[in-house]
Structure 1
């Protein structure tokens, strides 16, 4: 049941300092709030109470005016009177929930009865305060809503990251002092402060997510969320709902309305990895979001304004996919504003030694095993190997060496240097993918996650190899 605040005898605290607990203050300062009440005195009271505490506060004197404001702007919290001329607050809130309004709502009423509380709960109210109330009551009601939404957003994004992202990230910046990596870092520093859309290209395991995180960290959005999404890791039938959100009843199993990852990234950066795997039908909808800066949740009638910086990544040739009709040309030209190419590990010279040493330190701590010394011969082998799996493959070699207590006798050097020119990169790739498949007991989903490629790619290659 919604929280019912204790009834007070003073409607306004003219001489009391309006304050909120320090644990809530920072979130309240960033909030956008809409107050809907037909009493000018209450609107003015809430303007004086909440206005200095939050980022933006707007008021509406009736539900028609409030509907128009919701159509044009995003609000984090809605403060709504229940008894107004025309439609009451509970009825109007239920209507807004049905067309895609997700933010928390606080219902104000002068009448506290069980039936009203139940109706408010069913309409989706998060809190319930009785008139008259003190200023600190409404401040803390708003702050509780914001804190609950913050925790919900962080947990949802964290769960999504754990399900869909790689575990080879070393830091939020590209490691190494090779010329090619310094050039990439310089480009990141130049483009990060700009709102420009960036397309990051490069082989799997070259650090595309790290580059995206660097762009976010060096931007003016660095205090807002960074939300990474692996388009290949989400089932095609679920990806629209995951990105855009959905309203209750939009499809079988949609038992409650939910924000999508686009709205969770609001104010920050949305990183769409493996964008070439996005279903063709959804590419047009994403293009509209990029053009209009608005998103329509699945099953909703209302488009929600969204402020997000987009960063895309791919290990595929999108130009070739456009030619084949697998990727929309208009979307390709829209996302390819600034292209950032990450070099493969084999082109980064002695960076492989720095990366190997860092991975050795990190993994030895994680596994609770002593580091393995890298002698000059090992360093030479590391330098001369082509690393078709890039940093991800290097991580596997380091982990294997920790388990064995020494570097393996073979991790590809002999295969590429001592067996003659007939050993191609394709054969090395085949051996590497099959080895990873074997290490995970044939589980193609897990192998795809470790390799940083899509399940469809593994299925296609295994069909070619009859594996």
Structure 2
């Protein structure tokens, strides 16, 4: 029976391991991560149901299909209570066992997809789509991603906050051979030092009835896919050593467990910190830094490719308006020219937030940018004479923008002031200056 099942299943699944009894099966579960077990009830030594109960008590949540030639209703009920996901009577047809395995693996995959989806929704994982823009900087970034995506090497993404490192990681995943697997992101800066180890590697505990429970970590949920470690520079030093070991040995040990679990994931890490300086300062392990820096890709800040702003504005309007259930807004050439004069310290994320806020308010809302430019001008020495017309141009843009917002709300100064993010008194003073 074992030989028959091995020959039947080997061409259809990734790997088939066989055991003649419960002791051999115990050894396999210690050395391998098992997705599904086909288990006979009548075995020498411990029977199948007894072994399955012990497997569940140790925290293994793999799917289990039980087969037997001698069964009654009580046996079937006991098997289901022990954690069996399916129950097949001998003799059976090949299609029966294949259907049982397919359904079991689909259930396991569905649980993993649900977990990844919940994390994606809670962490606002970027939607499908490529890196937007046709500037020289973005074309170079796209070419680098295409070259690196096809190999399984670890990638370190660097760049300022808001430059789109998670979007670049997602593009690497979707152009890789692992695209059919999950993309699991985790922001290392948002988890406490007490939680991040169990979040990454899982943890085991004893329940009230004395049985052992095992909670899978993100490494397990990312099996066959990509694990994206955002802000990896925020990891505590103690956890950096554990992560290094996991990367080198491709095995993890859940917190509180004695069992190691093999993992098959690609690691993409990202940081806004210069990790080389963090190594010099003793805040980041040099061996982990060199392990992550197999391939390093730097993402340019938005101020270095402002020619992509019109394309980014159009992209954000087209994607965010349907999500928010709001009509798109019109952005004039003068307004686009004004956006190009701002240096965008928050990079693409700041531009995205501006467009989202503007869609909610019904018009491009640049009051915060005026304040940012004013602060920048206050910190900058007086410009030479050729640059002087810029201030007048900004004043004209400000006037046109305020008057356009007033017109869009039918002259209601209270609503216009709210949309512009200024007080009604300030709005009235500006309009009075223009003779309005």
TM range (shorter): 0.7 to 0.9
Residues matched between the structures, number: 381
Instruction: Work out whether 1:145 is the aligned partner of 2:131.
Output: no
User: What secondary structure does 2:103 align onto?
Assistant: helix
Q: Cα offset for 1:118?
A: 5.4
Q: Provide the rounded CA distance (Å) in 2 between the counterparts of 1:280 and 1:351.
A: 39
2: CA distance between counterparts of 1:329 and 1:144?
Answer: 46
**CA–CA distance in 2 between the matches of 1:176 and 1:213?**
17
Shift of 1:252: 12
Say whether 1:283 aligns with 2:240. yes
| Structure-1 separation of matches of 2:131 and 2:209 | 43
Q: Secondary structure at the match of 1:59?
A: coil
**Contact 2:201–2:218 (8 Å) recurs in 1:** yes
Gap runs ≥5 in structure 1: 1-41, 425-467
Match of residue 412 from structure 2: none
For 1:327, which of 271, 274, 284 is the aligned residue? 284
Contact residue 58 and residue 212 of structure 2 kept, 8 A: no
Higher Rg: 2
Q: Whose helix fraction is larger, Structure 1's or Structure 2's?
A: 2
Deviation at 1:181, TM superposition (A): 1.2
Q: Does 1:237 align with 2:237?
A: no
Could you say which residue in structure 2 is the equivalent of 1:314?
271
3-state DSSP of counterpart to 1:391: helix
TM-score, normalised with respect to structure 2: 0.79
Q: How far does the alpha carbon of each residue in 1:13-45 deviate from its partner, in whole angstroms, 9 at most, with x for none?
A: xxxxxxxxxxxxxxxxxxxxxxxxxxxxx2133
* Residues 268 and 215 of structure 1, relative CA distance in 2, 3 Å threshold: same
State the superposition RMSD in angstroms. 2.8
Q: Is the 8 Å Cα contact of residues 213 and 226 (structure 1) preserved in structure 2?
A: yes
- 1:247 aligns to what? 204
Q: In the alignment, which residue of structure 2 is the partner of 1:340?
A: 297
The 1:227/1:161 distance shift into structure 2, 3 A limit, reads same
What is the correspondence of 1:60-75 to structure 2 with a 5 Å cutoff?
Answer: 60-75=19-34
- The question of 1:163 aligning with 2:122 is answered yes
Distance in 2, Cα, partners of 1:119 & 1:76: 22
Q: How does 1:350-361 map to 2 (within 5 A)?
A: 350-361=307-318
- Name the structure 2 match of 1:21: none
CA 1:156–1:423: 2 relative to 1, 3 Å: farther
Pair 1:59 & 2:18 matched: yes
What displacement does 1:321 show?
A: 2.9
Structure 1 residue 179 and structure 2 residue 113: aligned? Answer: no
Distance 2:374 2:134 in 1: 26
Deviation at 1:155? 0.4
Within 5 Å, give how 1:47-446 maps onto structure 2: 47-99=6-58, 101-113=60-72, 116-117=75-76, 119-121=78-80, 123-166=82-125, 169=126, 171-249=128-206, 256-413=213-370, 415-416=372-373, 420-422=377-379
Query: Is the 1:246–1:259 Cα contact (8 Å) retained in structure 2?
Result: yes
Counterparts of 1:119 and 1:230, CA distance in 2: 43
Instruction: Flag the 1:163–1:423 CA change in 2: closer, same or farther, 3 A.
Output: farther
Per the normalisation by structure 1, the TM-score is: 0.74
Are 2:159 and 2:271, in contact at CA under 8 Å, matched by a contact in 1?
Answer: yes
Cα offset, 1:88, TM superposition: 2.2
